[in-house]
A and B are shown apart, each in its own frame.
Chain A
Amino acid sequence: MIWIDTIVQGVLLGGLYALFAAGLSLVFGIMRLVNLAHGDMIIFAAFGILLITGTLGLNPFVAALIAAPAMFALGWALQWFVLNRVLGRDILPPLLVTFGLSVALQNGLLEAFSADSRRIPAGPLESASVDLGLVTVGWMPLLTFATAIAVIVGLNQIFYRTALGRAFRATSDDPVTASLMGIAPKGIFAIATGLAMVVVTIAALFLGMRANFDPSIGPARLIYAFEAVIIGGLGSLWGTLAGGIIIGVAQTVGAAINPEWQILAGHIGFLVVLMIRPRGLFPRAVD
């Protein structure tokens, strides 16, 4: 019985990792850009939500609703004014720029909010749980997991049901031919990064309500996101969810055996999947 509980908790934890990873997967899928500042952006958004709840006394969900459009605008501007200039055949310049951004964000947050560990207050939701018969699960992990699914369904709807999604896929396939269709690839990239920042805001909301965060933990969140994206198969959103779940389950199982093994077990799970499926679980057919 304890094992079922462990696995269920691991699956739900995977939802959080999938949320971390979805924005990363989106940006990589469309423009082959690896954003090393993704984890720091989640922390940045978490501080933003904290600031709004603190100063305006708002519910964190409402605060995230306010933060999301602001983050979209920031993401759009970041892509338009900075990242579009370094995107090209060479993959190194964008890596270096996002690495620099990561350092700058961490230090900027440290300057503004100090190194204190913080948490977004979520009231009674923090400890509420529901009895599902076999297992008892917290409302918060359940809500996180449901949100991860909703985000992935939503992104897939945009990708496969809208003209914008068609432009995303076409630009990802071949930006030059997309421009012959009247699509400005750089504009599409800017919208994609804006959208990724909305997903980052959602990830930040759940990270901030579930765990303590401080300006320095972005890179540690990023590594789980990367692992989820890679074992899922680069660019596949459902693969990213599967990847997140695998890492979540590996971590909780590892922790159930010995609490010291939680982090290590997650990384070992990652390596084992890569040994069996070097291109990930759901690799894109065309690449």
Chain B
Amino acid sequence: MLLETRGLTAAYGQFRALFGVDITLAAGETVAIIGANGAGKSTLLRSITGILHNGAEMVLHRGCPIGALPPEVVMQRGIAMVPEGRKLFASLSVEENLLIGGQVRRTKGPWSLAAIYDLFPILQDKRHVPGTALSGGQQQMVAIGRALMSNPEVLLCDEISLGLAPVVIRDIYAAMPRIKASGAAIIVVEQDIGRALSVADRVYCLMEGRVTLTAPAAAISREAIHTAYFGAAA
């Protein structure tokens, strides 16, 4: 298995956010994690990247325990993150924001500055503008491009539609098939269930720190999601 969590229990100090979460991600697969606010979706991604420390065996990458590694080491293994809220570097131009994504882990692969500009042509025109001077949607494109620049095996996308207009979300999700085709396995954390289902092969639904539903995206019903989201059937 490319990436796996086993009995993942993440906590912020005294507050426990995850209660034994098991998910798997196979090579080339796209998995969506859905759930209400506070269900633990972002916590799950923060645990995988190493921002939150866990037991080493709780997160496995190609069978190697990585749960206790710091984020820079996890990233160098090929697990790149598009963080919630974009988090572009304010002192860096658009192009520098992209370059920094690929400057430590230099792996040969489909993604380069030219490939990112081909994926999101608007960024080429804005490449010398400070990253934070762009619109929200353009910033999200930079954040996705920045993560792709390392040619990751696993791309983690945390709430990429958050705070964006539907037309902008559509533009960004239009890039997803090409990202999938490039070979990266993807975990998409989303509150926008429709968007998540449109790109995913499989879906996990989280509620209050536990996995309440896992199913192939094609076979899942609205009722099942509703139950997994809110508990008892409506």
Contacts and interface: CB of A to CB of B under 8 A. Distances in A.
A138 to B, nearest CB: 39
Nearest to A160: B96
A173 B99 CA distance: 16
A176 interface: yes
Interface in A154-190: 163, 166-167, 169-170, 172-174, 176-184
| Nearest 5 Cβ contacts at the A-B interface | A182-B104, A179-B71, A169-B91, A182-B75, A177-B87
B101 to A, nearest CB: 6
Given A170-B92, A181-B101, 4 more contacts: A163-B99, A179-B75, A182-B150, A184-B70
A178 B50 CA distance: 13
B46 to A, nearest CB: 10
B89 A173 contact: yes
A169 B92 CA distance: 7
A169 B131 CA distance: 13
Interface of B: 49-51, 70-72, 75-76, 80-81, 83, 87, 89-92, 96, 99-101, 103-105, 132, 146, 150
Given A166-B96, A169-B91, A169-B92, A176 B103 contact: no
Contacts of A163: 99-100, 103
A286 interface: yes
Interface residues of A, number: 18
A169 to B, nearest CB: 4
Interface of A: 163, 166-167, 169-170, 172-174, 176-184, 286
Contacts of A181: 72, 75, 100-101, 103-104, 146, 150
A25 B207 CA distance: 48
A49 B87 CA distance: 45
A166 B103 contact: yes
Contact of A180 (B75, B92, B99): B75
Nearest to B79: A180
Contacts of B83: 177, 180
